[in-house]
Amino acid sequence: MGLMSKPIRRTEDKRFITGKGRYVDDVKMAGTAVAWALRSPYAHAKILSIDTEAAKAMPGVLDIVVGAELEAEGIGHLASAFPPAMLKNRDGSPRVDGDRALLTVDYVRYVGEPVAFVIAESLNEAKDAAEQIFVDYEELPAAGLIDEALAPGAPQIWPQAPGNIALDWEQGDEAATAAAFAKAAHVTSIDLINNRVVVNSMEPRGALGTYDDVTGQYELYVTSQGSHPVADTIAKRVLKIPPDRLRVITPDVGGGFGLKMSTFAEYPLVLIASKRIGRPVKWMSERTEAFQSDSHGRDLKSRAEMAFDADGKILAYRIETDFNLGAYGLGFGPGIQSAVPMFVVGGVYKVPVLHNHVRAVFTNTVPVEAYRGAGRPEAAYIIERIMDLAARELGLGQDEIRLRNFIRTEEMPFRSYVGAVIDSGDFQRNLHDCLKQADWAGFPARKAQSARRGLLRGRGMSYYIEKTAGGASAVTIAFTDAGRVQVGVSTSAHGQGHETTFAAIVADKLGVPFESVELIQGDSIRSPHGGGTGGSRSLWNSGNGILKAADAVIDKGREVAAALLDTTTDTIVFDEGAFHVHGSNRFLPLLEVAAAARSGAQLPLELVEKLESGLDSAGTHDEKGDTFPNGCHICEVEIDPETGKVAVVSYEVVDDFGFVLNPLIVAGQVHGGVAQGIGQALLENCLYEPGTAQLQTGSFMDYAMPRADDLPHFGFSYNEILCTTNPLGIKGCGEAGTVGAAPAVMNAVLDALWDKGVRTVDMPMTPMRVWETLRPAGG
Amino acid sequence: MYSFDYHKPRSLDEATALLADHPEARLLAGGMTLLPTLKQRLASPSDLIDLSGMPDLVGIQVSDSEIRIGAMTTHAAVAHSPEIAAKLPALAALAEGIGDPQVRHRGTIGGSISNADPAADYPSAVLGLGATVVTDRREIAGDDFFTAMFETALEPGEIVRQVRLPVPLAAGYAKFPNPASRYAVVGAFVARTAGGVRVAITGAAPSVFRLPDMEAALTASFTPAAIAGISVPADDLNSDPHASAEYRAHLIGVMVGRAINFALEH
Amino acid sequence: MSGTVPVALSVNGRKVASEVEPRTLLVTYLREHLGLTGTHVGCDTSQCGACVVHLDGRSVKSCTLLAVQADGHEVTTIEGLGSPENLHPMQIAFNEHHGLQCGFCTPGMIMSAVDFASRHPDPTPLEVREWLEGNICRCTGYHNIVASVEAGARAMAKA
């Protein structure tokens, strides 16, 4: 264990801090044309006709693509990542996703839906031409809000989804839950809104497509979180070409947060356009455009109830949720509030029985898909808000109610009611550590101090748990002539520092120099096939996969070393990067053995043939076993009652990520995740206008992105409770900060306002919201 | 953006002539408002006339009674001027709160007041101090300068040359920013002058305006308590999803109070 | 209407001269005409700061400047700040303190930080946070960026 567990500084920084990063917009090819999408200004309308004649004649215009042409060519449609059988209505009937062509033909269903794709020599010429495309729209009534879409007489967005219900899903036992509620000593209920947010990675989406008409090969550079899912979707579903005709390359990516997992229409469109005009075609989203063309996050309303016995122990839990799917079910959208969080709906508590009823609702808005945490922050938000409220109603401390209901350490592995097997965890310890770290006991004095300055101080706690994503895919290790060790992974970093973290594992495991390790990711031809990065799965999948591949390397190396050292395999021991003959001082370093295996010159022919390609090996971590990162967040806020402004004055986290590979990078992930949770709780809100479904928050001028002066210093520490179901003992950390943060902040805001008679708070608690909340309560 | 021709005149006369020759031309000062507008294709001027080629339009002169700021002086220059910090710290604080550091390195006072954004900061200082706007052809009193949302008393082709701000006995500026745009939801400029107190509010209405009731109360007693009972009607105030008219009306009282405290402390 | 206009400026110490359409933004000129793609575009409302460069030593948003406005001036981009073999103290600080994750906001963040640090050799965290109002990061939560800027400022003061 040399480099693992150390806060190694990142290798990838070198290019980023010197401006040598290579993002999609930095990739230059001679003769590249520019694409610009014409987007619907209406939330809901029938398209009567699209006239591109005048536009096509404009200077610099090379082509204009419309949906009718693509239909005629048999171009396939996009679809959700959940096959129909995998996510059905509770009565067994199939859910409805709607039908998503690359460019819509007959109806537009949200402001921003692409209607035509203009290809020109320059962006200005493309925009000029787009202004000359005449689309004859017949405007229809629109419903952008959940309530509007569910109201009687609401416009039907998909005829096959009456009442605009896309999915009607449940988990648990409704009757048994009701029976438990009937016996409750106390019932707490809460209505919660989880507001819509826009992902807003700092790099917008983009794609550069080429088609070589000699070879029939397509090549796509794209902002993604994994090249293979994009390649598979485009090749198999959209273009209907053999997969080996398409190479998808994901270069440096400026943030993903779930947004860049999906295949968006513009990606295959640049390939189609490139084939049409015989030149590369690049499309890069602008920011204002992103607000109406990226997928959005969250947007749900829930009513939750928790039944308690006389000791404040949970008897049962039930939730009714309606979530806004947007105009189409795409990506992981339909599953985000249903299947994806289903195993952590009960949080860290012993919940004997529960019933969770979730409906997905179509609206005339941008489709809602995965956003950091994808369902688990929403689930944590509900349970941590209701536990907070229950504590108040039961007269218990926030720590006490949780401690009474925690799954206890000695009960691990614990099979929860919902079927999750939580392998490990020490929730009590993390909570106690966080109480100390946050100086919980000292709060009353701080509250008094704030009061003397005319400010309302509150504290809030959340204890989150989440389940990270699985999916087995291979890792490859290959040795080059130049002494480099190439590690091929199917995951795809976009800020997580995999070049550094994975290299540390390889260096420690194989004893090769850290600098010799090179990560091969993001190339659908060169990297092993797999699901990409998302759901906090990369270290679990690729890190453990490296161990498997490394074991295979060592096994092969032992044979080669034995041959080179003229001994038998059973006398060879691998230690500290070299193969030793046990009991002697003869050894060969791994890289030498790899070189010899590669050349084969000194080895018996049978061995060379058996190895096929030297020590190069693959390994797949395919053992069952999810990881359950968890932790305690404690937040303190200070509210200025005169303006309503909420300042987060302290934020402390104690996490359990199992074995922490690189504490520097893990802390960074937590900071960023917490920042997004705070952002949603206090600042960010994606608003559609009631009645028209026009997007009201269309740029950073109206959508408050957290800045440095909106956020505090973060206190972060961790306890390593090793995961028992993977060799590294790790639990994925990428989304955890976001899972825990929003309820901690909102509980703190409620605490600050509680003494003023406030009982209900919803996100975001903007200054105006706080002021309005305080008014009737006499604040 | 749409195409335009570009000119960089060396004198105001040249600039005026260019404006006369090209009726669809726009003046380019710092560009912090104009360029984003053009990028969004919300305007299509035929020509841009860049005013940065006239050093005479840049500069700060401070005397005991008056501060003169050239129209092309940047917000950063005003924010960091030791003379302004000494004589009129409220103005330095106002300038320091405009946009972000990079915007302040380019944005200008002339550009800001000519644009008359309802949420811009400078209009409240111009109105609050009773400043004089000096153009290429006349002087316009601050009370007369801002006429409506994005509208001023400037005639077609008229160019702001300088702003002359009388040094008050005391002054303060307090702004409550929109968390997204960081523009003023409400900005209050309070000036205590020999002739009484002036209170100018930006951000809350289509155009900057004064509050006579508060002015009278503060002239009698220059303390936050003096305005405690004075509420501002919400009727004609701006309302959007981020800040209702009622909220702005409330914030006006709060920000005027904070501006008074600034004036008392500096 | 418009043809092109001549621009002549110094970029990272090197004199360049071109003919550009007046509407060409400085960031487009840098990225497309000069191939300096280290400066990024992250928004269209002049807020995010991914495009920050130095104009005559002061940080500005290159997306809100026309190339022609830089005529006769000196522009410094991230490429001109330091090289992998010869990193600027602020660049070193960002690496040391993990002040970046995806790296997209980083060039603008570093250029903004260098301008700040040149005038604040011993900053407080609050001063740093207030300065960075014009630089948005979605990855880091700013915690490590603040630490990086503080450390970079002190290193610059020593150098």
**Distance from CA of residue A48 to its chain's centroid?**
38
- Name A586's Cβ contacts closer than 8 Å, sequence gap at least 6: A565, A580
H or E element, residue A727 = none
Distance CA(A166)–CA(A179), nearest Å, equals: 29
| pLDDT > 90? residue C1 | no
Class of domain C5-80: alpha beta
Which 8-state DSSP code applies to residue A51? E
Give the SS3 label for residue C136.
coil
Token pair belonging to C120:
């604040």
Distance CA(A211)–CA(A372), nearest Å, equals: 34
The pLDDT score that the predictor gives to residue A278 is 98
Query: Which amino acid is present at B140?
Result: I
Query: Which amino acid is present at A42?
Result: Y
pLDDT digits (tens, 9 = 90+) for A159-218: 999 999 999 999 999 999 999 999 999 999 999 999 999 999 999 999 999 999 999 999
The pLDDT score that the predictor gives to residue A623 is 85
Mean of the per-residue pLDDT values for chain A?
97
- Name C32's Cβ contacts closer than 8 Å, sequence gap at least 6: none
Token pair belonging to C107:
């060039």
**Distance from CA of residue A396 to its chain's centroid?**
35
Which 8-state DSSP code applies to residue B137? S
Query: For residue B46, which residues of chain C lie inside 8 Å, CB to CB?
Result: 1
The pLDDT score that the predictor gives to residue C26 is 98
Which 8-state DSSP code applies to residue A352? S
Token pair belonging to A450:
């704030």
- A132 conformational bin, left if phi > 0, alpha if psi -120 to 50, beta if neither: alpha
Distance CA(C22)–CA(B69), nearest Å, equals: 29
Residue of chain C with shortest Cα separation from A702 = C45
Closest CA to A25 of A308, A222, A320: A222
Query: Which amino acid is present at B75?
Result: H
Mean pLDDT in residue range C77-97: 96
pLDDT digits (tens, 9 = 90+) for C7-49: 999 999 999 999 999 999 999 999 999 999 999 999 999 999 9
- C35 conformational bin, left if phi > 0, alpha if psi -120 to 50, beta if neither: left
Residue of chain A with shortest Cα separation from C142 = A708
- Name A542's Cβ contacts closer than 8 Å, sequence gap at least 6: A475, A489, A490, A491, A498, A502
| pLDDT > 50? residue A516 | yes
- A583 conformational bin, left if phi > 0, alpha if psi -120 to 50, beta if neither: left
Beta bridge partners of A461: A634
Closest CA to C113 of C145, C142, C136: C145
Cis before A513? omega within 30? no
pLDDT profile of chain B (266 residues), mean per 10: 97 96 97 97 97 97 97 98 98 98 98 96 98 98 97 96 98 98 98 97 98 98 96 95 96 98 97
For chain A, the first-to-last Cα distance in angstroms comes to 57
**Bridging pattern class, strands C5-11 and A114-120:** unpaired
Query: For residue B32, which residues of chain C lie inside 8 Å, CB to CB?
Result: 46, 64
Distances (CA, A) of A623 to A423, A471, A472, A656, C159: 14, 10, 8, 21, 53
Distance CA(B174)–CA(B124), nearest Å, equals: 10
Give the SS3 label for residue A206.
strand
Residue of chain B with shortest Cα separation from A123 = B1
Closest CA to A465 of A351, A333, A296: A351
Scanning C82-142, the segments in alpha helix (DSSP H) are 89-96, 106-119, 125-131
Query: For residue C47, which residues of chain A lie inside 8 Å, CB to CB?
Result: 700-701, 705
CATH 3.30.43.10 fits B1-53, yes or no: yes
Delimit the domains of chain B by residue range: 1-53, 170-265
pLDDT digits (tens, 9 = 90+) for A283-294: 999 999 999 999
Residue holding tokens 């290959």?
A478
Q: Do A19 and C82 make contact, defined as CB atoms within 8 angstroms?
A: no
Q: Do B106 and C65 make contact, defined as CB atoms within 8 angstroms?
A: yes
Give the SS3 label for residue B246.
helix
Query: Which amino acid is present at A146?
Result: I
User: What is the nearest CA distance from C129 to chain A, expressed in angstroms?
Assistant: 5
CATH architecture of residue range(s) C89-158: Orthogonal Bundle (1.10)
- The answer to whether residue B254 neighbours chain A at the CB level (below 8 Å) is yes
The pLDDT score that the predictor gives to residue A363 is 98
Q: Specify the CATH superfamily of domain B170-265.
A: CO dehydrogenase flavoprotein, C-terminal domain (3.30.390.50)
Which 8-state DSSP code applies to residue C118? H
Closest CA to A25 of B168, C38, B22, C45: C38
Q: Do B180 and A704 make contact, defined as CB atoms within 8 angstroms?
A: yes
Cis before B89? omega within 30? no
Distances (CA, A) of C144 to A75, A202, A499, C91, C98: 46, 17, 20, 13, 6
Delimit the domains of chain C by residue range: 5-80, 89-158
Higher pLDDT, A270 or A469: A270
Q: Do B243 and A768 make contact, defined as CB atoms within 8 angstroms?
A: yes
Token pair belonging to A87:
């996510």
| pLDDT > 70? residue C2 | no
Residue of chain C with shortest Cα separation from A291 = C43
Q: Do B179 and A710 make contact, defined as CB atoms within 8 angstroms?
A: yes
Query: For residue A703, which residues of chain B lie inside 8 Å, CB to CB?
Result: 180
The pLDDT score that the predictor gives to residue A779 is 44
CA angle centred on A734, ends A730 and A740, rounded to 5°: 100
pLDDT digits (tens, 9 = 90+) for A16-71: 999 999 999 999 999 999 999 999 999 999 999 999 999 999 999 999 999 999 99
Nearest by CB: C138 against A22, A124, A255: A255
Cis before A94? omega within 30? no
H or E element, residue B172 = strand B170-177
Query: For residue A21, which residues of chain C lie inside 8 Å, CB to CB?
Result: 38, 103-104, 106
CB A562 within 8 A of CB A569: yes
Tell me which of C19, C133, C137, C149 to substitute to probe the interface with B (most B C-beta atoms closer than 10 Å).
C133
CB-CB neighbours of B9 under 10 Å? 17
Percent of chain B with pLDDT over 70: 100
DSSP string, A158-176: -TTSGGGEEEEEEEE-HHH
Tell me which of B38, B176, B244, B258 to substitute to probe the interface with A (most A C-beta atoms closer than 10 Å).
B176
**Bridging pattern class, strands A281-284 and A165-172:** unpaired
pLDDT digits (tens, 9 = 90+) for C98-138: 999 999 999 999 999 999 999 999 999 999 999 999 999 99
- Residue/partner pairs of B76-84 with CB below 8 Å, 24 or more apart: B76/B101, B76/B104, B76/B105, B76/C58, B78/B109, B79/B104, B84/B60
pLDDT digits (tens, 9 = 90+) for A560-578: 999 999 999 999 999 999 9
Which ipTM was obtained for this model? 0.98
Q: How confident is the model at residue A1 (pLDDT cuts 50, 70, 90)?
A: low
CB C52 within 8 A of CB C111: yes
User: What is the nearest CA distance from B3 to chain C, expressed in angstroms?
Assistant: 6
Q: Do C138 and A253 make contact, defined as CB atoms within 8 angstroms?
A: no
Q: How confident is the model at residue A389 (pLDDT cuts 50, 70, 90)?
A: very high
Q: How confident is the model at residue A624 (pLDDT cuts 50, 70, 90)?
A: confident
Nearest by CB: A687 against B40, B178, B241: B241
Distance CA(A459)–CA(A439), nearest Å, equals: 11
CB-CB neighbours of A663 under 10 Å? 17
